[in-house]
Amino acid sequence: MAGWFSPAPGMKAGVLPEEHLWAMEATALEVRRLWFGGRVQPFFGAALLQEPGTELVALLRAGPAEAPRLVEEARRRRAQVLVTPFSQPWDLATRLRRAGFHPVARQGAYVYGPSLTEPGPAEGGPPAAALRRRGLVSWPSGWLRRWLRPAAPSGPLAISPIRAEELPEWNRVCWEAFGPPGLREEASLFEKERAFANMGGRALWYLARLGQVPVGTAILYLGEQAAQILAVGTRPGYRRRGVATALVRRAIADFRARGRGVLFLDTWPGSGAERLYLRLGFQRAYIRTMYAPG
């Protein structure tokens, strides 16, 4: 079908029109720019995101004459390059490896099932059932299925978007859920304050509470062409109580009421988060690979 993602030989066909795939990548780049306070400029048929201490090349639509210059200039600048199955030219990953780049990370982009426009089962059917028909999900049964289902929250679970004055409380929960080793809470708060200000009214920052205790976070960013869910996290002592499930469902409901285009999120293939998102109706649209110079 014209205008749909046409993969390179040997690659599995995509499930979205090509313009939706590019909208997802553009939105993800916009969120990263707002989060870290970078700036974007054209770069040989792509986009160069400049951040403090690093540069990233993304949205790769390089023509035959631009591709060699893109690879050489990225190598000279020691910039990282983000490659997707629909990046152009199709052999870009091969060109990067020949220039001394190597893959350093792989991440999946997952799109919410009811927002898909691919011809298929009638909209409104169970997303998980549609995924199983496509062979993308092998759903467990018996005791394993019961074990994977999160336990019900103990006490009333309330989710609401925060105000600016609640950001330190939101950051404390997010920092406990994700905080990488060596990142101080104060540095984490500075990062969140910048992102909160930059995103403005385009983002909903959710805080989940069990009773009076803050236990989980999530963000819904409403872009012009797509919406992204990010920062879904639960405090270690409150996991497997349905907090993350409730946060994602709230974000889905708000997207349906206010969003445009498709709803997506990013996570690691094979992770526990992936299993949660598949169960909630998301499916993997593609894998993006980060290349770094040697």
Q: Distance between CA atoms of 253 and 255, rounded to whole angstroms? A: 5
Same domain, residue pair 131 and 256: yes
In this prediction, residue 183 carries a pLDDT of: 80
For residue 237, which of 144, 143, 173, 149 has the smallest C-alpha distance?
A: 173
In angstroms, the Cα distances linking 204 to 158, 228, 234 are 15, 11, 17
Same domain, residue pair 119 and 252: yes
In this prediction, residue 181 carries a pLDDT of: 72
Phi, psi of 221 (to 5 degrees): -100, 125
**294: in domain:** no
- Which residue is listed with tokens 């999946």? 108
Q: Domain containing 100: what range?
A: 18-110
Sheet holding 213-222, edge to edge: 39-43, 46-51, 54-58, 80-83, 282-293, 101-112, 262-267, 226-234, 213-222, 203-210, 157-161
In this prediction, residue 155 carries a pLDDT of: 67
Token couple for 73: 């200039």
In this prediction, residue 10 carries a pLDDT of: 35
DSSP 8-state code for residue 128: H
pTM for the model: 0.82
**2: in domain:** no
In this prediction, residue 37 carries a pLDDT of: 93
Q: In a structure prediction context, what are the per-residue pLDDT tens digits for the chain, which is 294 residues long?
A: 334 343 333 334 445 788 999 999 999 999 999 999 999 999 999 999 999 899 999 999 999 999 999 999 999 999 999 999 999 999 999 999 999 999 999 999 999 986 554 333 333 333 334 333 333 333 343 433 444 444 444 568 999 999 999 999 999 999 999 877 778 899 999 999 999 999 999 999 999 999 999 999 999 999 999 999 999 999 999 999 999 999 999 999 999 999 999 999 999 999 999 999 999 999 999 999 999 999
Whether 170 contacts 198, CB under 8 Å? no
The CATH number of residue 259's host domain is 3.40.630.30
From 110, 126, 158, give the residue that closes a domain: 110
**181: in domain:** yes
In this prediction, residue 4 carries a pLDDT of: 38
Same domain, residue pair 78 and 197: no
